[in-house]
Chain A
């Protein structure tokens, strides 16, 4: 999903920057609010940001297709630090990946953040909330969130490309052509992301439930967080 510079026309990448900013502004507000509520949030945000940086640059070989791709880490991030905050840290992650690792472009940070940080994060988060509302086991809700968030990221990337480049070819057909470039490699990795997301959430719930707002009682979570930070 790291779209490079030069592919999207200026009108398109400006549009995706604008769409991303609409989510980054509430994201900054979400971070400020949660920092005030929970003292553990700040170091946790830093850890999750670094984790997204590493996970989304970690190319894994998929022997079924003979190519490599990477998971996203944003569905997990959206569940534990919040969906809008994920948009903010993803933008920072994509900036550093473009600047230092040769992953993606600078003009396409908006489009890349929209697919990975916003759609990937929010779709995973919504799956999580929906399944938890129906009392789904934590590992199952986390796993499905990881899978859906991963696949949605690549569907969105393919859509962004096809929207600008479909020309005389029907949009949906061009969309599926681009997704065919990602999909076969990405599906096994989406399963791996599901397992990873489920495992991390389950371990965190067992050890530090206060870091998972919405899973445990909110007031109790805040209280535990303050006690932990005072130690």
Chain B
């Protein structure tokens, strides 16, 4: 007797067209970031954010000390971004399924 798992194993492939396209786009964007970052590193550019630059300019103009609502020092920012983006991905995936599942079955 065939189970749902058997059917899934037959139909699910590692690199279906959607996954393949998403990986291609992701690697293309990451390659652009890597090349840009490498160039900046070779030319001793700091790569700071323009938000920080303009906030510093504004602080200087207003003679006040600007600060974000919360400071995330060092790797804490990477951690916060990773957690936020992981759950963002889950929410997108969940809603994607609702919107596109019928179309993919066709």
Question: Which residues of A line the B interface, CB within 8 A?
Answer: 1-7, 9, 40, 43-44, 46-47, 50-51, 53-54, 57, 59-63, 66-70, 96, 98-106, 157-158, 161, 164-165, 167, 174, 177-178, 181-182, 185-186, 207-208, 211, 228-229, 231
Contact = CB atoms under 8 A, between A and B. Distances in A.
B70 to A, nearest CB: 5
A186 B99 contact: no
Given A67-B53, A101-B70, 18 more contacts: A5-B69, A7-B59, A43-B95, A44-B99, A53-B84, A54-B88, A59-B49, A61-B47, A66-B40, A66-B46, A67-B47, A67-B50, A99-B69, A102-B71, A102-B77, A167-B61, A178-B57, A208-B103
Given A5-B66, A53-B88, A68 B103 contact: no
Contacts, number: 152
Contacts of B15: none
A132 B27 CA distance: 33
B80 A100 contact: yes
Contacts of B102: 228, 231
B40 A63 contact: yes
A231 to B, nearest CB: 3
